[in-house]
Structure 1
Amino acid sequence: MLSNVRIGNICYYVNDIDRTETFYRDVIGLNVQRMEGDEETGDWLLASIENNIELIFFKMESRPGNTPIVVFDLSEGGIDTVVEGLAEKGATIVTPVSHAPGGWSAEFADPDGHVLSVYQSEERPRKSA
């Protein structure tokens, strides 16, 4: 089901977006871009690293265990079908398919409660044929 995917993003929830931007830009030395969010989510940060993996930072309560989240990129689309298949096989769906910046995402938990995510660009079909 997820055998032909790559890790596209690693998402972090952070308490202070400005402090996080300063740390990852000035201390770590990453090229951090501030992305304009909406009223609900606010601005968020994007930093690209090796192998086309992106670190994404969202302002949300950060506590041990809820971050980071590994995001599998569904380059072929079909997020609804993938999430339905995960649920049928017993995965706990934490967040159903919902709008995300530039596409859709959904979160599910592994047997130990670790949250994983799938994402697809809005350029791909949501249902596979």
Structure 2
Amino acid sequence: MFNNSKIGAICYYVSDVDKTEAFYRDALGLDVQRMEDDGSGNDWLLAKTGNDIELLFFQQESRPGNSPIIVFDLPEGGIDDTVNALAEKGVTIVTPVSHAPGGWSAEIADPDNHQISMYQSDELPRKAQ
């Protein structure tokens, strides 16, 4: 049934759209668009990843576990530098760079404590060259 399907969007529930917008725009560098009221009296956010997967953010009760964990692939490597740059911006590092199957991973938390993971292949350099 889903074998030819592609993920089109990942939805998050967030407690504060303004904080979420600033985090994903300023800390992660995504182009975040504020969309008009969704009928709940709140604006919502749309951001697209490099491979056109949409991240949607709706203001609603939020708690860890009621939203998915997304994984950003780092195709150019440099996971150590990426994590260090995020830490300098005040981003919470949940899991520092550690070995993962076939590579390296690390996890950070957004303002609602949703985990965001990064992954890079062990064939790529851990630091920028």
Give SS of 2:83's match. helix
- Alpha-carbon distance, 1:66 to partner: 7.4
State the Cα RMSD in Å: 2.3
Confirm whether residue 89 of structure 1 aligns to residue 89 of structure 2.
yes
Q: Residues 18-48 of structure 1: CA distance to partner in whole angstroms, max 9, x if unpaired?
A: xxxxxxxxxxxxxxxxxxxxxxxxxxxxxxx
Letter in 1 for 2:109: A
1:21 alignment counterpart: none
2:72 corresponds to: 72
User: Aligned in 2, Cα 1:66/1:126: closer, same or farther, shift over 3 Å?
Assistant: farther
Secondary structure of the residue aligned to 1:104 is: strand
**The residue matched to 1:87 in structure 2 has which SS?**
helix
Aligned to 2:104: 104
Specify which structure has the higher proportion of strand.
Answer: 1
Q: Aligned with 2:106: secondary structure? A: strand
Return the alpha-carbon distance in structure 2 between the equivalents of residues 71 and 115 of structure 1: 9
Q: Is the 8 A contact 2:102 2:121 kept in 1?
A: yes
Deviation digits for residues 42-78 of structure 1, max 9, x if unmatched? xxxxxxxxx8xxxxxxxxxxxx617731000000000
- Distance, in Å, in 1 between the alignment partners of 2:83 and 2:66 is 20
Give the structure 2 partner of residue 116 of structure 1.
Answer: 116
Residue aligned with 1:116, SS:
strand
**8 Å CA contact 1:95, 1:108 repeated in 2:** yes
Relative to structure 1, the CA distance from residue 122 to residue 109 in structure 2 (aligned partners, 3 Å threshold; closer, same or farther) is same
Question: Do 2:77 and 2:126's aligned partners in 1 also have CA atoms closer than 8 Å?
Answer: yes
Matched ranges for 1:1-129 at <5 A: 6=50, 65=65, 68-129=68-129
TM-score normalised per structure 2: 0.51
Structure 1 residues without counterparts, runs of 5 or longer? 8-50, 52-63
Is 1:66–1:115's contact at 8 Å kept on the other side of the alignment? Answer: no
Q: 1:6 to 1:97 in 2, by over 3 A?
A: farther
Q: Could you tell me whether the CA contact under 8 Å between 1:73 and 1:119 is conserved in 2?
A: yes
Q: What count of residue pairs does the alignment treat as equivalent?
A: 73
Percent identity between the two aligned chains = 67
Structure 2 runs not aligned, ≥5 long:
1-27, 31-48, 54-63
Higher mean C-alpha deviation, range 117-126 or range 66-75: 66-75
